[in-house]
């Protein structure tokens, strides 16, 4: 019962009832990624493109979409990663979720959350001043 209410009343947990109803009526399942997110497409939007959407496995977090699916979602390619054999290049890193607000977040030297000090300015930069 708790999970049912959670999905009914919150948009950040998977999908809302409206999205589930639209998916049931108009959606065609295209594929699923390694995180369990399920991708759909349906009728045309106002620009004549096929509508594409994702139902997240868990919290609705846009950074949880891997690069291949991101390209498909944004119409950069018409071929979904489920329809092709994709081999990542040597220089590509594995997907990671957004770490903002966690202990794994990037904190550069000089940040108030990083005790390390920024390197001193070397003199190769001249600050702009009005009238100069």
CA torsion sign, 59 to 34 to 70 to 105?
Answer: positive
Element (DSSP H or E) covering residue 25: helix 17-26
For the beta sheet containing 28-32, the strands, ordered from the edge strand earlier in sequence to the opposite edge, are: 28-32, 38-44, 50-55
Tell me the average confidence (pLDDT) per consecutive run of 10 residues in the chain, 132 residues long. 63 64 77 90 87 85 84 90 82 82 87 81 78 77
Q: Is residue 129 in a domain?
A: no
The number of distinct structural domains making up the chain is: 1
Structure confidence at residue 65 (pLDDT): 87
What would the two tokens of residue 84 be? Answer: 């092709």
Alpha-carbon distance 77 to 70, whole Å? 10
Q: Domain range for residue 28?
A: 1-120
Q: Read off the pTM.
A: 0.65
Q: Is residue 127 in a domain?
A: no
Q: Is residue 111 in a domain?
A: yes
């Amino acid at each position: 019962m708790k999970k049912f209410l959670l999905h009914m009343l919150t948009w950040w947990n998977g999908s809302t009832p409206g999205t589930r109803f639209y998916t049931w009526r108009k959606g065609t399942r295209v594929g699923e990624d390694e995180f369990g997110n399920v991708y759909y497409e349906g009728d045309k939007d106002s620009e004549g493109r096929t509508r594409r959407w994702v139902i997240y496995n868990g919290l609705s977090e846009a950074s949880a979409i891997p690069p291949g699916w991101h390209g498909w979602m944004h119409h950069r390619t018409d071929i979904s990663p489920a329809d092709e054999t994709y081999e990542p290049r040597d220089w590509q890193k594995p997907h990671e979720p957004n770490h903002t607000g966690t202990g794994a977040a990037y904190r550069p030297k000089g940040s108030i959350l990083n005790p390390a000090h920024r390197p001193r300015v070397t003199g190769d930069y001249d600050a702009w001043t009005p009238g100069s």
